[in-house]
Structure 1
Amino acid sequence: MKDFGKDLDEELSSLDAPPLGDLVGEAVRQGRRVRRRRAVGAVVGSALAVAGTALLLGGPLRPHSGGAGPSAVVAADVPSPSPVVRQPVTGAALLAAVAGVVPDGLRTGGYAAQTDGVNGAQVTGAQVYLTGPAGTGMIRVFVTSGESEASCFTTESCRRDDRGQQVVVDHMKGNCVQDVVVTSRHHDGTVVQVNVATCLAWTEAEGNKPTAPALTEQQAIALAGDPALSVWMTAEEGLRAKAAYPDLPRIL
């Protein structure tokens, strides 16, 4: 990405963190650096602990309340539903979820993804190029676990989305990979950050090629709040995503 000629460590230490006071606040702070060598280092800094693997357990069928007899249902004869085991989402599974909920009529491409541990928490990211009538633009989506609520500060654009979830919108002037940063806190504790770029991913040949934004601010809010974007997936979802996106590069 665009290099301001400063060493990574010097640049990060010179930046003041915005008053988000949580995972996404640090993400925004580090997002001011346009050329990133490790995406999570630029998107997520102060992360909250990842919740343990959740089990959605189905209870066994109970016997009929009537008297005993040949027609009575015996609990031992009825198989219990198999538990639905959920596990931490992979980059490929997050990418599949993002590609499935972007606005209709947009073609997807430019895929990249990653999963990293940051301060004891799992942070998973996915990059998608979206092509429509205005051309091709880029978004990056990151998910981690957090709280369903956080303090709102006067310097933030803090609101509620259509699902009643807390949303913060920031505009990062001069940062083309994070021109608009939307952070949604889902009711289940999933924290989703959508970065709408005005450039494509950095390359040696072209640097950060300027583009039009792939999503409007309202579209980014709707995407960030979509329940399909989660820190969890099922094993089946993971297998399908791995088959669909077998060799994803890391986000640059």
Structure 2
Amino acid sequence: MQVVDQINRKLYFENTPKRIISLVPSQTELLCDLGLENSIVGITKFCVHPIDIKGKTTIVGGTKQIHINRIKALNPDIILCNKEENTKDIVEACELICSTHVSDIFNIEDSLELIKQYGTIFNVENKTALLVHDILKEVISFKAFITSKPTIKVVYFIWKNPWMVAANNTFINYLLDFNKFINIYSIKNRYPEIELSEFNSNKEVELVLLSSEPFPFNTSHIKEMQLYYPNAKVITVDGEMFSWYGSRLLKAFKYFKNLRLSLQNNLPY
């Protein structure tokens, strides 16, 4: 079996991989939702879904730093990485151990392609076909819902000290656009640092979104951010819904619908 991963590398498998290491939280969740939980032998400390996964497998590090000897000792058949989440050095180190698949996600189409590739690699095509069908059903429903809604100018914060936002060429920015949120930092690339001042913040911003990850923004940060954006509504949002792909998309569009309805009715979220 030959598979071309999402950074155009050819992978060859004589048999279905049985021992999986996942270095990407959203991909760990996807594997479990495809019924492959018992095949996962290693994950990162950030793999928190499903809630009991950490008690069932070995933690091999984070997404940017791994314990390579621990990974070797687990004797994996395949290691699953992501171009954004994991470094080039990590991928190259993993390649010396076994076949290493790298995803690269910018939009829904990329996510669905990844799901289909996992179906092929792990011999679960029927499950992935059903998952893709159900996600597309959610996408179609949300498109019908959002089409009549007004656009809203937003800024999406992912970090504090330094202040960092999501910008162009990110899955987050793609989903913001899907929600008819106009990202005022879409003119910048990836995750730029920005300077905030009570005197120079963009007065056009209508909505400030404080993501729950990777920085754990919560309601305690709303008052502080309101100083910089006195004319905008400031809310916290579930970062997993805006940045996790794979099976999380089944939940994301319902979340986005409820988010928009809360804004429309001027309710807290």
Range class of TM-score, shorter chain: under 0.3
Per residue, is there more helix in 1 or in 2? Answer: 2
Higher relative contact order (CA 8 A, sep 6+): 1
Query: TM-score by structure 1 length?
Result: 0.24
Structure with bigger gyration radius? 1
